[in-house]
Amino acid sequence: MSDMQPNQTLEEQNAVNRTDFSGQAFTDQNGAGTTAADMNLERFKVIDEYEILGTDDDGLATGFILKEGVPAVITASGLVGFYFAGQTDPSTPNGRADAGIYNSFPVVSLVARVGGGELQFVGEGPTELTGSGEVVFYINDTFFEDNDGSYTIQISYYCYPGFGIGDANHYHCK
């Protein structure tokens, strides 16, 4: 006996089945939920790398979606030069508090916004961001035309094999 509806193709039924299980924990034959970690699936460390230019006044949208409660660690390096008091001064991702504070963080520091949340200080890290949604990085500055250089940003996280079907409490490898 089949659960297929009249006039439904096998491909359509498979699509429904995949949708029904998306984001759910694996279930064993007794109906008990099992996570990928419980099944001893091998996890992989992934490091995504991005570069934000000192002149990027709109920030850098990464496309990386942070999941609430699932850690991703951010580190950054590089130098951004900016014009201050008649000279060009370089800054690390930690910024230059001696040159001023903007948005409650040192000027020219690396900050991020997760989803529609508040700005969070990243600096050189390692920093673990909070919230859920896309991670967008910014140079914390008010005037970008006199900046030069860039920061290289790395987001590291662990993922499990899969295509997004199963345990939603971790990242799935691409």
Give the separation between CA 135 and CA 171, rounded to whole angstroms. 15
Question: What's the mean pLDDT in 157-173?
Answer: 61
Q: Global pTM?
A: 0.71
**Domain for residue 28, yes or no?**
no
Range of the domain at 75: 44-160
Give the separation between CA 29 and CA 31, rounded to whole angstroms. 5
**Domain for residue 120, yes or no?**
yes
Does residue 18 surpass a pLDDT of 70? no
How many of the other CB atoms lie within 10 Å of CB of 4? 12
Q: Give the model confidence (pLDDT) of 59-74 as tens digits.
A: 999 999 988 878 889 9
**Domain for residue 144, yes or no?**
yes
Domain count, the chain: 1
Q: What confidence tier does 158 reach under pLDDT thresholds 50, 70, 90?
A: confident
Q: What confidence tier does 28 reach under pLDDT thresholds 50, 70, 90?
A: very low
**What CATH number should be reported for the domain holding residue 54?**
2.60.120.430
Q: Give the model confidence (pLDDT) of 111-134 as tens digits.
A: 999 998 999 999 999 999 988 999
Question: What's the mean pLDDT in 147-160?
Answer: 89
